[in-house]
Structures are given as structure tokens and as C-alpha cells.
Structure 1
Amino acid sequence: MPGEKTVDLALSELRAAIGSLENAVDARIERQRNNSEVEGEVRRVHADRARLAQELDQSQFRANRLEEVNREVSRRLVTAMETIRAVLDR
């Protein structure tokens, strides 16, 4: 019967179309899941960057402070050496 073949063909095409739609939906969900993972990783990288920037600022502050202290110690040593020379020269 030609009518049954037409219905069977239509059902077959409908099943194929539904299968394609399900595959497309699955692929879309997977892409969204991957995007969410990437977005999470980007947020973690930004947080790490902010933390590292803060640590760098703190390290730079400490380095500057050590440099200042080093200059002060050097100045005091020079003063002490000059005083010792002056005493020895007398």
C-alpha cells in the first residue's frame, strides 16, 4: 500500500530529524558546559593575577624599605669609620 509507505517514510524522516535535533541539543549543552568551565578558569586566573599583583606590590614595598635601611646602615658605617679614623689619627 502506497499510503503506508508514505507514512512509514514520513515517520522515518521525523525520527531522523528528532535524532539530529537531540544531537544538536546535546552538542549545545556540551559547549555550554565547556564554556562554563572556561569561564571558571578565567575567573580563577584573574583571582590568581590579583593575588600575585598584591604580593608583588608587597614585595616591592619590602624591597624599597630594605633599600632605605641599607642606605641608612651604610651611612652609619661610614660615619663610624670616619670617627674611628679620626680617633686613630690623634
Structure 2
Amino acid sequence: MPSDDELAPDPVTAALQRLDAVLSRLEATVTRRLEAEAAPDDRDAELALLGEDRSRLAAALDAASARLAQVEATSGEVGHRLDRAIAAVSGVLERH
């Protein structure tokens, strides 16, 4: 049967085991910290992209609104010209 000295790990082995456990916990903590720090950067980048998209869409909406106003003004002018042309043709037809 082994003696008590043979069953107990030597102090160097025990210290190495404790060091290994501490290093494992430290590595896990560093990994979690790096992941946590990377997440806000990703969110910041995504927010920046969303801001750029919003600006681009706002500019496109402004351009489309300006174009719509131009088309509405043009269609109003065309409507007035058609009304005058119809009145002129009606006047000519009534005289004949």
C-alpha cells in the first residue's frame, strides 16, 4: 500500500495545476472581454452604415419630391394649354 507521501502530489505539481487553472480562467476572461469590446464596434459600424443609408434615402426622397413637384407643375401647364386648345377648336367648329 502506498504511503501518505506517495498519494499527496508534490508542491511543484500542485502549483502547476493551480497555475494551469488560473491561466484557463484568465484566458476565458480575456476572450469574453475581447468579444464584449468587439460588439460595440460592430454596432457602431452598423449604426454608421444605417446613418449613411438614411442620408442616401433622404437625398433620394428629396430628389423624388422635387421631380414630383416639377411633374405636377408641368401637368398643370399642359392642362391649361389643352383647355385653351379645346376652347379654340370648339370656337372654330361653332363658327362653321
Q: TM-score range by the shorter chain?
A: 0.7 to 0.9
1:18 is aligned with what amino acid?
A: L
Q: With the length of structure 1 as denominator, give the TM-score of the two structures.
A: 0.83
Alignment-derived partner of residue 51 in structure 2: 46
Q: 2:91 aligns with which of 65, 86, 89?
A: 86
Q: How many residues align?
A: 90
Answering whether residue 43 of structure 2 is matched by residue 34 of structure 1, we say no
* The 10-residue stretch of structure 1 (28-37 or 57-66) with the greater mean CA deviation from structure 2: 28-37
Q: Give me the whole-angstrom Cα distance separating, in 2, the residues matched to 1:59 and 1:22.
A: 55
Q: Give me the whole-angstrom Cα distance separating, in 2, the residues matched to 1:39 and 1:31.
A: 13
List alignment gaps of at least 5 residues for structure 2: none
What CA RMSD, in Å, does the superposition of the two structures yield over aligned residues?
Answer: 2.2
Structure (1 or 2) with the greater helix fraction: 1
Q: Give me the whole-angstrom Cα distance separating, in 2, the residues matched to 1:5 and 1:76.
A: 106
Which of structures 1 and 2 has the bigger CA Rg?
A: 2
